[in-house]
């Protein structure tokens, strides 16, 4: 027998009262383990809430129409009633259409369109980001897959989402679309060529120039390779007395670098352009060597104040002009040094050889810590079997890839790594971060998430990794 309005209202009153009790709590007596445990429980409750909302919205749609209650659409109803944005309201309505209960024309109840995803959400296993990725994937798949195939995708992605981050799930979804649509509607070369662009906007009152664009895959591959080196912490930092533009900066220089990633990429692009102009290999343009042409006055230059004008018409502060000249001088010195073998490439037993790094790239593809998205260009050879300082060997069978930040997580009372029988690197989290998650990183191998658990290697099954007590 269905509960009546009074019973439902009483249940919501109890929920309000329970939350009031929770909100009034103080947590001064909890240790870190119990504190993180409470955060996990709140997260699970937050994930479960939308499932109830789907039921309410589905029921509302059986009672009336939006126009009957003064709205343009159900999205409009939610936006007005709940004081949320139109975008968020539309997202909730669309999500409810896929994950909420349905009713046939005969009045018979129907399961959700995505039953596996709906069940995972109702259990609190997945969050709204996971749901959005699955729905987007299935929307694309609907163009060329039948109902049975889409149900299989719903099952596979919901299962993968329960133990992986949204970033990793997105890679699995992209792979699925590619596998099912190799001859389909993926962008062709002509389409990409039409969309490529780089724009320099007009200089603003602060002297800054907006820069935007869209790179084709080839151009992106070039600039990503350059950024991997020159936009690393400690590289090309204009705040340093002698910026490091070649070799590897020392640890003090890296630690002192407080720039954001976009700022480092800006400075790397500056260094790339300066290097290219200084090479003398660009020939001439309008009868002059391709270089930065600047006009200023002797008085401004002596006073180190005012602005100069570049050949492109941009205003250039004199302080920047002086720094450019200084950098050009240092660049020549650095260029001379660049003709010798950098010291950091000197062979020691601790440093992996180029050949070893290529083997690691073929096997690991990127950082091996579960959930990390750092690619090969941003990863280092990590002594995974045993730390070098504790007797570890720099053999290919003892190494794995790890990005710098994750490499530093491996320490006493921190993360530990070990190499499985199949050569993959397992990361064992410290107890307070151990939720029973996967021990290997599927982000660079999303195909593994599409394999049913029973077909995975025994050491790669979720039940083998119970959370720490």
* pLDDT tens, residue by residue, 307-333: 766 656 667 777 776 666 654 432 222
Tell me the mean pLDDT in the region 214-232: 92
CA distance 276 to 12: 67
- State residue 331's pLDDT score: 25
- Could you give the 3-state DSSP secondary structure of residue 235? strand
Rounded to 5 degrees, φ, ψ at 347 are -75, 125
- State residue 294's pLDDT score: 63
CA distance 112 to 88: 21
- What tokens were used for 88? 């968020």
On whether the CB atoms of residues 243 and 233 are closer than 8 A, the answer is no
pLDDT category at 458 given cuts 50, 70, 90 is low
- State residue 323's pLDDT score: 66
What's the order of all strands across the beta sheet hosting 315-317? 294-295, 307-310, 315-317
Arithmetic mean of pLDDT over the chain: 82
User: Environment class of residue 321 by beta-carbon count within 10 Å: exposed (0-12), middle (13-18) or buried (19+)?
Assistant: buried
Please name the residues in contact with 372: beta carbons below 8 A apart, sequence gap of 6 or more: 366, 403, 406, 441, 443
Residue-level length of the chain: 469
- State residue 313's pLDDT score: 61
On whether the CB atoms of residues 436 and 464 are closer than 8 A, the answer is no
Tell me the mean pLDDT in the region 138-145: 86
Pick from 282-286, 293-297, 454-458 the range whose average pLDDT is largest.
Answer: 454-458
- Could you give the 3-state DSSP secondary structure of residue 272? helix
DSSP state of 339: T
- State residue 336's pLDDT score: 28
Q: Residue 340 to residues 25, 174, 197, 272, 333: CA-CA distances in angstroms?
A: 65, 44, 38, 20, 12
- State residue 379's pLDDT score: 85
pLDDT in tens, 38-85: 999 999 999 999 999 999 999 999 999 998 888 889 999 999 899 999
- State residue 325's pLDDT score: 63
| Comparison of pLDDT for 292 and 349, the residue scoring more | 292
Q: How many H helices and E strands in the chain? A: 16, 13
Q: What is the largest CA-CA distance in the chain?
A: 92
CA distance 141 to 151: 11
CA distance 131 to 160: 12
pLDDT at 347 over 50: no
Closest to 176 measured CA to CA, from 204, 199, 154: 154
Report helix angle 261-278 to 318-338, nearest 10. 70
Strands (E), 60-196: 102-103, 109-110
pLDDT in tens, 82-134: 999 999 999 999 999 999 999 888 878 899 999 999 999 999 999 999 999 99
pLDDT in tens, 363-402: 888 899 998 888 887 888 888 888 766 777 777 788 899 9
When mean pLDDT is compared across 28-32, 137-141, 411-415, 462-466, the lowest value belongs to 462-466
- What tokens were used for 234? 């400690």
CA distance 346 to 389: 19
- Could you give the 3-state DSSP secondary structure of residue 217? helix
Closest to 327 measured CA to CA, from 265, 288, 277: 277
On whether the CB atoms of residues 236 and 244 are closer than 8 A, the answer is yes
**91 Rama sector, left if φ>0, alpha if ψ -120 to 50, beta otherwise:** alpha
When mean pLDDT is compared across 144-153, 162-171, 224-233, 295-304, the lowest value belongs to 295-304
On whether the CB atoms of residues 86 and 100 are closer than 8 A, the answer is no
| Comparison of pLDDT for 106 and 269, the residue scoring more | 269
DSSP state of 29: T
Provide the pairing of β-strand 288-289 with 294-295. unpaired
Closest to 394 measured CA to CA, from 402, 403, 384, 404: 384
Q: Residue 444 to residues 135, 174, 240, 448: CA-CA distances in angstroms?
A: 22, 12, 35, 10
- State residue 317's pLDDT score: 77
């Amino acid at each position: 027998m269905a509960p009546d309005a009074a019973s439902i209202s009483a249940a919501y009153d109890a929920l309000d009262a329970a939350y009031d009790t929770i909100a009034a709590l103080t947590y001064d007596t909890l240790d870190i383990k119990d504190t993180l445990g409470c955060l996990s429980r709140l997260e699970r409750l937050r994930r479960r809430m939308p499932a109830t909302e789907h039921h309410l919205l589905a029921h509302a749609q059986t009672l009336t129409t939006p126009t009957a209650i003064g709205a343009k659409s159900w999205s409009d109803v939610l936006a007005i009633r709940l004081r949320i944005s139109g975008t968020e309201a539309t997202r909730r309505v669309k999500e409810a259409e896929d994950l909420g209960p349905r009713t046939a024309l005969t009045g018979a109840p129907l399961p959700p369109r995505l039953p596996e995803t709906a069940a995972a959400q109702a259990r609190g296993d997945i969050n709204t980001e996971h749901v959005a990725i699955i729905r987007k994937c299935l929307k694309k798949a609907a163009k060329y897959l039948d109902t049975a195939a889409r149900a299989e995708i719903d099952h596979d992605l919901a299962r993968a989402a329960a133990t992986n981050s949204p970033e990793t799930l997105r890679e699995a979804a992209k792979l699925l679309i590619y596998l099912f649509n190799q001859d389909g509607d993926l962008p062709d070369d002509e389409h990409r060529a039409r969309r490529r662009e780089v724009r320099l906007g007009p200089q603003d009152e602060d002297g800054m120039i907006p820069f935007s664009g869209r790179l084709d895959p080839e151009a992106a591959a070039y600039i990503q390779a350059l950024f991997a080196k020159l936009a690393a912490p400690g590289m090309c930092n204009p705040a340093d007395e002698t910026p490091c533009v070649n070799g590897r900066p020392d640890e003090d220089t890296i630690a002192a670098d407080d720039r954001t990633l976009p700022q480092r990429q800006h400075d790397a692009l500056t260094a790339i352009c300066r290097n290219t102009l200084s090479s003398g290999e660009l020939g001439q343009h309008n009868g002059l060597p391709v270089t930065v042409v600047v006009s200023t006055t002797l008085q401004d230059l002596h006073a180190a104040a005012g602005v100069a004008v570049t050949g492109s018409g941009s205003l250039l502060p004199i302080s920047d002009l002086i720094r450019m000249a200084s950098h050009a001088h240092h660049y020549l010195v650095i260029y001379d040094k660049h003709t010798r073998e950098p010291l950091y490439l000197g062979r020691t037993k601790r440093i992996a050889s180029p050949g070893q790094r290529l083997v690691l790239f073929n096997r690991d593809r990127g950082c091996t810590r579960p959930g990390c998205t750092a690619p090969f260009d941003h990863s280092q050879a990590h002594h995974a079997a045993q730390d070098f300082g504790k007797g570890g060997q720099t053999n290919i069978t003892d190494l794995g890839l790890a990005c710098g930040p994750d490499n530093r997580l491996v320490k006493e009372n921190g993360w530990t790594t070990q190499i499985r029988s199949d050569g993959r690197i397992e990361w064992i989290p410290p107890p307070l971060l151990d939720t029973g998650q996967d021990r290997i990183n599927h982000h660079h191998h999303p195909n593994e998430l599409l394999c049913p658990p029973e077909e995975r290697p025994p050491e790669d099954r979720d039940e083998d990794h119970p959370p720490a007590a």
